[in-house]
Structure 1
Amino acid sequence: MNTLNWQRLRSRLSQLALSLALLNVGQAHAQNLTMLRAQGGKTVDARGKEIVLRGFNVGGWLLQESYILKTDTLDSQARIRGGLLRTMSDKELEDFYADYRAKFVTKADIDFVAAQGFNCVRLPFHYDLFLTREQRLERNKVSRSRRNLDAYVQSLTQWYDQDRLFTDSQNLDGFRIIDQVLNWCAARNMYVILDLHAAPGGQGFDRNINDNFLPLDLWKRKDAKGRLIYQDITVRLWEKLAARYQKDPRVAMYDFINEPHKVNAENGLSNDNAEINGLYSRLINAVRRQGDQHLVLLEGNGYGNEYTNLTPDKLQVQDRTNLVYNAHRYWCPNDPAATDPNPNQINLLANLAAFRDKWQVPVWVGETGENSNEWFAGAVQGLNNQNIGWCHWNLKRVEGVTSLLRVRNYGSILTPEGRAALLRNIQFKECVPNRDVIAALTGPATARVPYTALRIPGTIHATDYDMGRNGIAYQDAYAERIDYRKEAPTNNGSVYRNDGIDIQINSDKLSNGFAISDMAAGEWINYTVTVAKAGTYTLQARVKNDTSAPAKLTVKLDAAVVGTLTVPQAAAASSWTTISVPTTALPVGKHTLQLYVEQPGASVSWLQFNPTTTPTTQGGQ
C-alpha cells in the first residue's frame, strides 16, 4: 500500500473511531431521543409515537445575514468579510469569526429555547465552515476582489479531485460546532435539523441567504472538465455529514439546501425544477448508499415552497422513504380556507395539508416569522390544528422585535469599537427576551396576560399594555401583514413591542424611552391593573398632538368610563405635555383598564394615577 493510500485509510479509521465515540456520548445524553422516520403523513419516533417538531432557527450565527446584524449595505457575509479585510489580516479575521461563533450561540441560549417548551433547533450553516482555515483564505481572496473567483473555483476543483475537501472531521469548525450543538440540545431532549443554508456556489440570487459571488452558480458553474463542480462538492459534503451522523438519533433531519429560488427559464435554466430534481436525487441516493435512513427535508423552488417535478413520484431515486417536504411561511394569509391554484405551491395552510394527504409524506414549516405577534399566533394556531411542525425565524436579531432574543445595537462591524460591542452584546446574558413574541408562539389563542405588573396608584407606561391577540389585548386596524407585496410595517416604529400597536422612540426625559402613536379612532388598548386603594384619583397623562385638531381619549375601568382626556391640537412646535383630570371612584382589586381613542391624533407616553387631595381641572405643563 502506498503512503498516500495508507494516510487516507488511517484518516478514515480515525474518523470512524471518533464517530463511534461521539455516538456513544450522544446516546448517553439523548436517552429519550430516537431516530425519527416518516409514517404516512406523520413523523414518528422508534416507538411509533408521533413527534411534531416545533422550535427555533439559530440564523445569523454560522452564516451572517446582513439584516440580522444591521449591516444592510454590505448585503452578505462575503461582503462583510471583504469590508473587514480592508483593515484586518486574514488571521485577525479568522480570530474575530472564531470569537463571534463562540459567543453568538452558547449552551445558555439553547437552554433558554428549551425552557420555553420547544423541542428542536434548526441549525443553518455555511459550507465554508467545513473548509480548513487555509482553504478559507482562498475564498477570502474573492471577498477582496471578484477577479479571484475563477482561481478559487480551480482550487476547489483540485481539492475535490484530491479528496482534500471536508476530510479533517476532528478539526474542521463545522463538525466541531455541530457536535457541540447536538450535545447541548440532547441534554434538553431537543432534536437538531442540519440546514445547509449557504450551499457551494449559492442556490439563488439573494446574497444574504446563500452568500453567493454570482447568482445561481450552484446550478450553472462548470469546471474545466465540464462538471457542475459546485453540485459535486455539495454531494461530497453531505456524504461526509452522513458518514459522521448516520446513526445519530439527535439529528432529526438533513435539510439539503435552503431556499433555492429563481431557478427558472428567465435565468437560463428549466421551467420545471429539473435542475433541483437532479441534485436532490443525487443527494438522496448518496446519503442512502451509506445506509443512512435519516429524514431528508426537501425545499422547493421560490424560497422553499414550489414542488413542480419534485413530488415523490418524480424523484430519480429507488428509496422514497423518509422524505419530508418543507414550506417557508412569511407574509401570507393564515386563513385555513385560503388556497393557491397551484397544488405544488404549499405555503398556504390548505395547500400544505392537501399536499401531505395526497402524497402521504410529512410536511414541515422550516421557517416562519418576520411578522407581527398577531400573525404569529394565527400561524401557530393554524399549523397546530393540522399537527404540522414549525420552526420560528429567528433566535436573535440586532434591535429585533420579532426574534426570541433582542441584541442591543453596537455601532459598526467595520470598526474595532463596534466589533468589541458586537461581541459583548450578542452574548446571551446581554440579550433581552422578547416576552410578547414568546407569548404569541406558546400561549393559548385567546389568552390575555399582563406584560408587567401595574398598580394604581402608580405610573402606567403606555407601551406596557397586555400581551394577547388583536381584539383581545388591543384593537388596531393593521395588526398583521398577509400580503408579501405590502411592505408597510404593522408597528410603524418597529420598536419595543411586536404588535399592531404603533410605538415610537420617545426622547422625552420623563418617558421610558417609548410612546404609543398613530392611533386611529375606535382603536383601544387594555392593561391589567391592580387598584390597591378604593377611591377617586387624579389621572395625569403625558401626551403630544402633532395634528391640527384636538384628540380625545377615554379611559375606562372594566368598561365604565373613569376619565376623558382632551389633547389640544399641535402648537407651532409640538412638544410633550402633562394633562390632568379627576377620575370617578375606582374599586379595589384587579381590573381591566382601557385606553380608547375617540378622536385620533394623540401620542401617549404614560398614564399616572395619584390619590385625590385637591380638586383638579384639566391643564398642561
Structure 2
Amino acid sequence: MICRNRPVPGQRKASVYLGCIGLLLGGLLATASPASGQRLSPLHAAGPKIVNASGQEVVLRGYNVGGWLLQESYILGTDTLNSQWRIKQGLLRTMSEAEMEKFYRQYRQQFITKADIDFLARQGFNCVRLPLHYDLFLTPAQRHARTEVIRDPHNESKLTAYVQQLSQWYDTGQLFAQPRRLEGIRYINEVVKWCAANNLYVVLDLHAAPGGQGTDRNINDNFRPLDLWKRHDAQGRLLYQDITVRLWEMLARQYRNEPAIALYDLINEPHNLNAANGLSADNQELNTLYSRLIDAVRAQNDQHLILLEGNGYGNEYTNLTPDKLRVKSTANLAYNAHRYWCPNTAEASDPNPNQINLLSNLTAFRDTWQVPVWVGETGENSNEWFAAAVQGLNERGIGWGHWNIKRVDSGAGLLRIAPYGSLLTPEGRTTLLRNAQFARCQINRDVVAALTQPAARQPFTPLTIPGTIAATDYDLGRDGVAYHDDFSARTDYRDYTPHNQGGAYRNDGVDIARCPDMPNGFAVQQLTAGEWLTYTVTVATPGVYRVELRVQPGTETGRLSLQMGPTSMGTAVVPPGSDWTTVALTTAALPAGQHTLRLRVEAPVNQLGWLRFAPVNSVAGPGE
C-alpha cells in the first residue's frame, strides 16, 4: 500500500505518489445481496471491462484488509519499527521464537475475522483485497531459517546462508510442496469462504514478495533493498524471482477453479527500479518477471484475471504495455493504479501516458490499450478527498480497493482501533488483540458516508432544539456542502499539511482537537474567517431562543453568525482573550420541524465547543 516508512504519522508514499483514491455510490454494486448464498460467477476481461460469465460488467469496489497477514508499522502505531521483521526482532528480545510464533497465530486469528468481512458486505462493497506475505507459505522450519536472519539482519553471512538454504529447498522441490499444510493457504481458504458467503470477490495480493520488490521495508519486509531484482544465489540465479514464480504456480494450481477469486495481483507496488539503483531505466526487469509469471500461471490451465502493477508504487508502465510483454497470451490482463495525495480533477494529467494514477491518464490508458484498469489501493486522506475520488472513478466505471480497513487511533480507516500501549510488552499485545476485534472497533461513520454516498449531505447525529449541540457534530458531507474549511484535502504528495489540524474525532477538513472540558471531549479549533459548519436540526418546540456559544477567543475580536435556512438568526461577538467564555444571541421565532442551521465564522476564534438553545418564549406553530 503506502510508502509505509513515512516521514510523518499517517503519511503514505509521500516520496513517490502523484496519485489518489476512489469509492462507492449508493446504488453501487450490481452483484447479489450479502449472504444470499448464490455462487459467484467467474470473471474475465472483455476489452476494457471486467465481466462475469453472462457478459455482465462487474465493477469491483471494495476494501483492503492490510496490516493483518503482513504487519505494517504505521497501521499498528509503531512507526519507529517500520517493518514486520523489526517488530519480530523486538519481540525476540523478551520471548522465545515459539512464543513469538504463538503470538502471531493469535494475532492472525483475531485481527480480521468473519465479522469484519460481514461488515464490509453490509456496507455494499463487493470485493476484498487480501495482502499476503510470502513467509506465510513457508513451513515452520523454513520460517525458522528466516527468523535466524531477523535475529542478526546486518550479518551478510547469515543472509547468504538463508538464500542458499532457500536454494536447496527450491532445487529439491520442498518449497510450497504441501499447500494444505501452509498457513497462507489456510487463510486464503478462510477468506474465500467468508467472502463467497457474502457474494464478495477476493483479490490475492502478494504484498511482500520474496526478497522485497523495492526499497520500502514497511511494504517489502525485506532485509536488503530490491533483493527480488538483484540478489543471486551460489549458482548465479535470481533465486527470489524463481521462488516467486513457483509460489504463483502453486497458487494457480490451488485456485484455478475458484470463481470467488477475481484477480491475481502478482507483485504489490514495485518501486525504485531505476538506474540509480543499478537497474534499467525502462522496467526491463519487471517485464521479464511479469512475462515469466503470466506464462507460469497460464501453464497451470488457470485463466483468472492477472493484475499487473507498474513501477513507482504501482503506477508507471513503460515497457509493460500489452504489446511489450513477452508472453504467449495477453488475454485476461488488467492494469493497476494506486492513488494517493493527488488531484481528482479531470484536468489534471501527467505528460507520461504510462504514468496512470491521475484520472485522465488512467482512463486514456484503458481506452488506448483496451484493457481493464483497477485502482488496487487508494485512501489515506480526508473524507473530502475520498468523496471526490469516488465520484471521479465511479463516473468512469473504474473500480477500486480502499486502503485500509483498520488502523490504530486513526480516522482515515473504516474501523478505528483504540490505542493499546506498546506491542513489545505483554500488556500491550494483550490489549491489541482485544482492541482489534471487530466488536471493539469504532466504526468511522464519516468515512463510510464519504465512500458510499459521496454526493450527499446527511445528519451526523440527531440534533434537537431546545438542547445543546456539540460543535463537532456538524453534518456528514463534502467541503462546500456540509462545511467549509480553508484546507480540506491533500492533493500534492509533497505537502504534508494535515487536513484536520487537531487530528481527532472526524476525518474531514474541519480542525478538531481533544478538549476534556467539552461534554463529548472535543472542540472545533482554528476557525478562520469564511469557514462554516452546517447542522441538520429538529426544532421540537417553536419559539424565540437564546443561543449560547461556548468559545475560546483569539487575540482579536471574533464574530460568529447563525443562519437557519435563508433566514439570519444574528451574530455573536467574541471579545479577545485566552480563557473559555460563553457568548449569546437571541433568535427570531423558529418554526417547528427539521431545518438546516449554518454557523459562519465572520472573524476568527480559537475554538468552539457547543451551541446551546434555550427557549425565551413560545409561539404557536402553523395550524395551532
TM above 0.5:
yes
Equivalence for 2:528: 520
Question: Is 2:173 aligned against 1:166?
Answer: no
Q: Which amino acid aligns with 1:536?
A: V
- Deviation for aligned residue 1:144: 1.6
Deviation at 1:605, TM superposition (A): 1.1
Q: Secondary structure at the match of 1:78?
A: helix
Aligned residues: 581
Equivalent residue runs for 1:196-211 within 5 Å = 196-211=206-221
- Aligned partner of 2:107 among 96, 100, 104: 100
Aligned to 1:11: none
Alignment match, 1:4: none
- Contact 1:567-1:602 within 8 A present in 2 as well: no
Q: Check conservation: 1:457, 1:610, Cα contact below 8 A.
A: yes
- SS of structure 2 residue aligned to 1:163: coil
* Aligned AA (1:86): R
Q: How many Å apart are 1:135 and its aligned residue?
A: 1.6
Which residue number in structure 1 is paired with residue 610 of structure 2?
Answer: 606
Whether 1:244 aligns to 2:248 is no
The residue correspondences of 1:183-262 to structure 2 (distance < 5 A) are: 183-262=193-272
1:474 corresponds in structure 2 to 483
On the 8 A contact 2:454/2:477 being kept in 1, the answer is no
| Match 2:466 to one of 442, 446, 457 | 457
Encode CA deviations 1:586-612: one digit per residue, 9 max, x unaligned.
Answer: 111101111100001231111111222
Rounded to whole Å, the distance in 2 between the matches of 1:264 and 1:232 is: 21
Alpha-carbon deviation of 1:29?
9.1
Once the two structures are TM-superposed, the CA of residue 58 in structure 1 deviates from its matched residue by 0.4
Q: Distance in 2 between matches of 1:348 and 1:444?
A: 19
Aligned to 1:590: 594
User: What secondary structure sits across from 2:344 in the alignment?
Assistant: coil
Cα distance change of structure 1 residues 158 and 304 upon mapping to structure 2, 3 Å threshold: same
Is residue 282–residue 319 contact of structure 2 (8 Å, CA) maintained in 1?
yes
> Which residue matches 1:89?
96
Q: Secondary structure at the match of 1:471?
A: coil
State the structure with bigger RCO (CA 8 A, min sep 6), 1 or 2: 2
SS in 1 for 2:451: helix
Higher percent of residues as helix: 1
- 1:282 and 2:292 equivalent? yes
Looking at structure 2, the residues matched to 132 and 495 of structure 1 have their Cα atoms a distance apart, in angstroms, of: 43
Once the two structures are TM-superposed, the CA of residue 444 in structure 1 deviates from its matched residue by 4.7
Give the counterpart of 2:579 among 564, 572, 575. Answer: 575
Q: Is the 8 Å Cα contact of residues 559 and 594 (structure 1) preserved in structure 2?
A: no
Q: Per the alignment, in what secondary structure is the counterpart of residue 306 of structure 1?
A: coil
Residue 613 (structure 1) shift: 7.1
Q: Deviations over 1:230-280 (max 9, x none)?
A: 101111110110010011101001000000000000100000000000100
- Determine helix, strand or coil for the equivalent of 1:193: strand
Quick check: 1:375–1:480 contact (8 Å CA) kept in 2?
yes
Whether 2:51 is the aligned partner of 1:49: answer: no
Contact 2:551 2:582 in 1 (8 A): yes
Q: Look up the match of 2:515.
A: 506
SS at match of 1:170: helix
- Once residues 589 and 415 of structure 2 are traced to their aligned partners in structure 1, the CA distance between those partners, rounded to angstroms, is 41
How far is the alpha carbon of 1:563 from its aligned partner? 3.5
Larger displacement relative to structure 2 (397-406 or 576-585)? 576-585
What's the offset of the Cα at 1:60? 0.4
CA contact (8 A) 2:499 2:508 kept: yes
Deviation at 1:319, TM superposition (A): 0.9
Runs of 4+ in 1 over 6 A off after TM superposition: none
CA displacement 1:75-115 (0-9 Å, x = unmatched)? 11110110111001111111111111111111110000000
Mapped partners of 1:416, 1:568: distance in 2? 51
> What CA distance in whole angstroms lies between the structure 2 residues aligned with 1:370 and 1:529?
31
TM-superposition CA deviations, 1:119-142 (whole Å, max 9, x none): 000000100111112221221122
Corresponding position of 2:76 = 69
The answer (yes or no) to whether the contact 2:551–2:605 under 8 Å persists in 1 is no
Q: What is the alpha-carbon distance in structure 2 between the residues aligned to residue 526 and residue 95 of structure 1?
A: 50
Query: Partners in 1 of 2:505 and 2:149 — Cα distance?
Result: 39
The answer for the alignment partner of 2:502 in structure 1 is 493
The code of the aligned residue for 1:105 comes to I
Q: Residue type matched to 1:88 in 2?
A: M
State how far apart, in whole Å, the 2-side matches of 1:208 and 1:444 are: 31
Per-residue deviation, residues 13-37 of structure 1 (Å, max 9, x unmatched): xxxxxxxxxxxxxxx9963312111
2:558, 2:68 → 1: CA distance?
A: 46
Distance 1:453 1:340, change over 3 A: same
Distance in 2, matches of 1:479 and 1:465, equals: 15
**2:544/2:616 contact within 8 Å kept:** yes
What does 1:327-476 align with in structure 2 at a 5 Å threshold? 327-445=337-455, 447-476=456-485
The letter for the 2-side match of 1:277 is N
Across the aligned residues of Structure 1 and Structure 2, the Cα RMSD in angstroms comes to: 1.4
Shift of 1:565: 2.2
Unaligned runs of 5+ in 1: 1-27, 615-621
Give 3-state SS (helix, strand or coil) of 1:467's partner: coil
Equivalent position to 1:109, from 108, 116, 137: 116
- Whether the 8 Å CA contact 2:543–2:617 is kept in 1: the answer is no
Q: TM-score, normalised by structure 1?
A: 0.92
**Contact 1:56–1:394 (8 Å) recurs in 2:** yes
CA shift in 2, pair 1:143/1:314, >3 Å = same
Decide which of 320, 324, 330 is 2:334's aligned counterpart. 324
Paired residue type of 2:465: I
Deviation, 1:539, is: 1.4
Query: How far 1:575 moved relative to its partner?
Result: 3.3
Determine the C-alpha separation between the residues in 1 that align with 2:516 and 2:575.
20
Counting aligned pairs with the same residue, the percent is 64
Amino acid across the alignment from 2:421? G
Q: Which residue of 2 aligns with 1:294?
A: 304
Amino acid at match of 1:557: M
Are the counterparts in 1 of residues 544 and 617 from structure 2 also a CA contact under 8 Å?
no
Distance across 2 between alignment mates of 1:360 and 1:82: 47
Distance 1:494 1:214 in 2: 34
Alignment partner, residue 314 of structure 1: 324
Which string of whole-angstrom CA distances, capped at 9 and with x for unpartnered residues, describes residues 287-316 of structure 1?
A: 001110000000000000000000001111
Moved more, 143-152 or 390-399: 143-152
Task: Tell me how far apart the structure 1 counterparts of residues 488 and 42 of structure 2 sit (CA, whole Å).
Answer: 40
Kindly state the Cα deviation for residue 157 of structure 1 after the two structures are TM-superposed: 1.3
8 Å CA contact 2:454–2:478 kept in 1: the answer is no
Distance (Å, rounded) in 2 between the aligned partners of 1:511 and 1:149: 56
Find the counterpart in structure 2 of residue 538 from structure 1.
546
What secondary structure sits across from 2:179 in the alignment? coil
Q: Distance in 1 between matches of 2:415 and 2:569?
A: 38
Aligned-pair distance for 1:339?
1.2
- Alpha-carbon distance in structure 2 between the residues aligned to 1:542 and 1:93: 51
1:121 maps to 128
Take 1:214 and 1:601, find their aligned partners in 2: how far apart are those partners?
Answer: 51
Q: Residue 130 of structure 1 aligns with which residue? A: 137
The answer (yes or no) to whether the contact 1:84–1:414 under 8 Å persists in 2 is: yes
TM (normalized to structure 2)? 0.91
Question: Residue 556 of structure 1 aligns to a residue in which SS?
Answer: strand
Q: Quote the Cα distance in structure 2 between the aligned partners of 1:209 and 1:493.
A: 28
Give the Cα–Cα distance (whole angstroms) in 2 for the partners of residues 83 and 114 of structure 1. Answer: 36
Alignment partners' CA distance in 1, 2:427 and 2:615 = 49
For residues 47 and 108 of structure 1, what CA distance do their matches in structure 2 show?
31
